[in-house]
Structure 1
Amino acid sequence: MSNYRQLSSAERFTIARLLAAGQSYRQIAAALDRQPSTIAREVRRNSGAQVGYRPDYAQQLTAARRWSGARLERDADLRASVLERLAAGWSPEQIAGRLAYEAGVPVISHETIYRFVYAQLKRTNDRRWRFYLPRAKYKRGWRTKGGWPRPAGRCSIHERPPAIATRNQPGHWEADTMLFSQTGQAILIVHERHTRLTMALRHDSLQAEPVATALIALLAPVPKPLRRSITFDNGTEFNRHYRIASQLGLDTFFCDPHAPWQKGGVENAIGRLRKSLPRKTNLDSLPGDSLNAILARHNNTPRKCLGFRTPAEAFIPLHFKCESTPGSRPG
C-alpha cells in the first residue's frame, strides 16, 4: 500500500475543471489516479458556501490548516483583543476566563497567551514584551517562612476561624502599606478576602496612631456585616490594632513574623498594583485622580476565583444588600 500524499495545486486545478465539466468523483479520481474518497473529501473540506470549489481557495484553506504558528499570530482580531487586555493589566488567565465567560465557550487558553508573549520576547529580542505579563518577571520567585516571636497582645493568624481561611464569608480584610523609593511616601491598602475588592488611601505617615485613624476612616463607610476581621503583618504601624478593633467592631489577627505571604490577598493586590505604581513612582507627581483610576481598573478586572466576575461585580451587590437591611449601617 502506497503512502498518502497531499493533492498538488495542479491536481486541484484539474478537479475544478472536471467538476465544472460535470464529471463524477469516480471519473475525476480515475483521471488523477486517486481514490474517489480523496476527491470527495477534498471537495467537501475546501469548498466555499458562495464560490463552490475553486483551486486557489482550496489551496489557501489547506495552507491555513497546516499553519504551525501560534493562534494569536494568525487571528488578528483575537490578538488585538488579547493585547488590549494585557495592556490594561489583565493576566493571561483572566483574559482566557473572561473571553470564555462572555462567549459561553472556551476561546483560548492562558497557556497559549503565555507562549505567544514568550515567543515574541525570543523572536524580537524586545524586552518590553515582558511588561505584558502580570508581574513583568522572567522567573517566578519563592517564598520563605519566618520564625521570630510575635509581640504580646496580638492574636495569631493560626487562631482565625476556619471560615476566614476558606474565603467563603465576606467581611474579612487584610491590610498592608505599599512603600516607594521616595522617603516618606506610602499608600495604605485594604483587601477583602471574599470578593477580592481592594481599597487604598495615600497615607505617608507610618506611625501607629495616624495609620489607625486612616484605617478607621477607610473602613467605617463599609456596612457592619462586611466588617468582621482584619489581618496584619507585624509592622509597627499596626500597633494600635486594639483601637481599630474597638472602633470598627471587628477582630484583628497577625501573620507569623517575617511571613507576610500569609496574608496573600493583599500581597497579591499590591503586586498587581505595582505594574501601575512601581517602587520608583513619585506620588507627588501623580495627577489627583490617578490612584482612584488605578484602583477602578484593578477592581474591574475579572478573576478566575470569582468565576471571571470582577471584584466590583462581587462586592457591590453585597454592599447594597447590607445597606438595605435595617440596622446594618455602622454606628
Structure 2
Amino acid sequence: MWAEVLEECLKQAGLAPVSWTNYLYLTVGGTLSNGGISGQAFKLGPQISNVLQLEVRWVRAFYDSFRTFTEDQELLVSMPELVEYVEGFVVLDEQSLHSSSIAFPAQVNFSPDFDGGRKVYYCIEFAVHDFQQQQGGSPADHVVELVSARLSYLKPHVYSVEVSYFDFLNRVRMEEESLRSRGLWDVPHPWLNVFVPKHGVERFKDLLMDTISPGEFEGPILVYPLLTDRWDGNTSAVVPSSPDGVMYIFSVLRSTDPARCDSACVQGIMEQHRRLADEACRDGGSIGAKQYLARQQSPAHWRDHFGSRWDRFVSRKARFDPMHVLGPGQGIFPRTDSVASSM
C-alpha cells in the first residue's frame, strides 16, 4: 500500500516521493499501472513519471463563479516555482461542505446561501511546501500571501493551515473513516473520471450538474487542471487533444446509501454516467473528452477511446501478450479459446 511506503520513507529517512494519488490505501502496482494522479500532477506529471523533508501550508479558497474558479486554478498551475499542489471541488450543499472539511484542520467560517439547491459553490485548494525555506526561498506564509493576493476568490473566504507532510498526503484516510462510521464505505461507489480539454470544461460542467440532485448526492466532485505535456505519449494512457496544453479532470466520487439506493438505483446512476461519458467523448463532439480509468462497453468503444493510437496499442498487445492473458476483464481484447480453456 502507498500509505505503508509513505510511513516507511518518512520513518527511515524523512524523505518521500513527490507525486501521489489522493487515496493512499491502494497497491503500488495498481496505481503505477494506470498513472496515478492528484493535484500535484500538473507540476510533476502522474505518479509513474516521478523526495524532500517538509511541512505543508494547506490553503482553501471559495468561489461562486465556475469561470473564475477555473481561471484561478490555471493561474496556480502556471506558478510551479511557488505552488506544489492544486485541486478543487464542487460545494453542492451544507453536507458536502461539511464532508470536505473533515480532513482540513482549520476553522472554515463559510456559510453560503445555496438557494434551495439551485446554487453551488466551488473551492480551490493548493499547497506550499516549507522546504522552500531550507532552499533559501520565501517562507511558506509569505508565499501563501503572495499567491492568494493574485486570486479572485470570495473575500474574505481563504483559509490556511500548516500540517505535516504525512497528514496532508493521508488526508483522504480521514474521509474514508468518516464514511465507514456512517456505513457508506463498503457500499457501491459508481464513480466517473473524465479528462476534459480546457475548451470543453464549461459545457461538461453543465452536463454533469444536470445529472445531480444535491440533496441526494453523497461524495466529492473534484475538478482541477492538468498539463498534457506531463503525460508520456509512449504509454497507453489516453488524454484528450488540447491545443493550449491544459485539460481538467472531473472526478465524480460517489457513495450510495443502501437504505436509499438499491441495485436498480446504482445501475441507473451507472447508466447516467455512461450517457454523460458518451456525450462528452463523442467523436466530433464539442467537448472532446477522454475517460480516465475507463470501462468501455465493447472493443469498438475501446477503439474509439484510443483513436489514432489504437493501431500502436494493438501492435504492442500482439508483441508482448499475443495470447491475451493480461487484463481480460477490461474487455479490450477477448481471450483466445486455447487460453480460456486452460484457465
With normalisation by structure 1, the TM-score equals 0.22
Structure number with the higher strand fraction is: 2
Structure number with the higher helix fraction is: 1
With normalisation by structure 2, the TM-score equals 0.21
